[in-house]
Amino acid sequence: MNSAYHSVLTIAGSDSGGCAGIQADIKSISANGAFAASVITATTAQNTRGVFDIHAIPVSHIRKQLIVVLEDIEFGAIKIGMLHSAEVIEMVKKTLREYPVKNIVLDPVMVATSGDRLLNKAALNSLKSFLSDAYLITPNIPEAEILIDKKIDFNNIVDAAKEIGNTFKTSVLLKGGHLEGSDQMTDTLFVYEIQKTVFVHNKRIQTKNTHGTGCTLSSAIAAQLSLGLHLEEAVKKACSYLNKTIVQGKDRILGMGNGPVEHFPK
């Protein structure tokens, strides 16, 4: 008996250092038991110390990549990472609407580790108009604050997750890693369809090896959705996986800057 792959398409940029972006996505999807296909939106000259150059792929070529894989392969989920311009965002939105895609997991990358915004106003507005197409979005605290234009802390994180979900009509995993002051890290999942809030707890790990954690988590969730898990279970399994990758990678050395997680934990 032949059996089909559980496939995930990742749409994102390439990280030449291998810690984040498409490279992290493929490792995470594979580690979670699914098959990874990819559409590359940009290449970067990047290592553990930073991003030194970005080369945007022509929009027409990004669209061609999308069309040929979507016409040939059935995907159980689609993971979307950084889309660097309004033109790219609008094209990806338009193209995906031409196909019967499902389970879009969108990581709304808007803020660099330095705190600098990565998207201009036009791109941000395009991204906001795209969020309702997603099944789940996975903002961190700085990104969530941009989406609702207010500060977020321990006291209002649940209300913030609900506001984002109901504003953009999508489920939200609001990642709590930027909230200091606790040995426990809590991510807040708001399931839009049933207006349910779920907390996912993991021990906070002290390490500088967290380069690519957002890519890794969103890709793991997409992989678990492609395997047939419902959203709450997929998120919990993916968060548990990410925690293991951080624990097992916390003392490993790659390069001279912020290293990656261990994508294939034992």
Catalytic residues: 175, 210, 212-215
Cite the DSSP H helix spans in 113-196. 121-130, 141-148, 157-168
DSSP 8-state code for residue 117: B
Q: How distant, in Å, are the alpha carbons of 76, 188, 258 from that of 253?
A: 34, 31, 9
SS3 181: coil
Q: Which residues have C-beta within 8 Å of that of residue 140, sequence separation ≥ 6?
A: 111, 175, 177, 178, 214
Whole-number Å distance between alpha carbons of 191 and 79 = 18
Whole-number Å distance between alpha carbons of 152 and 159 = 9
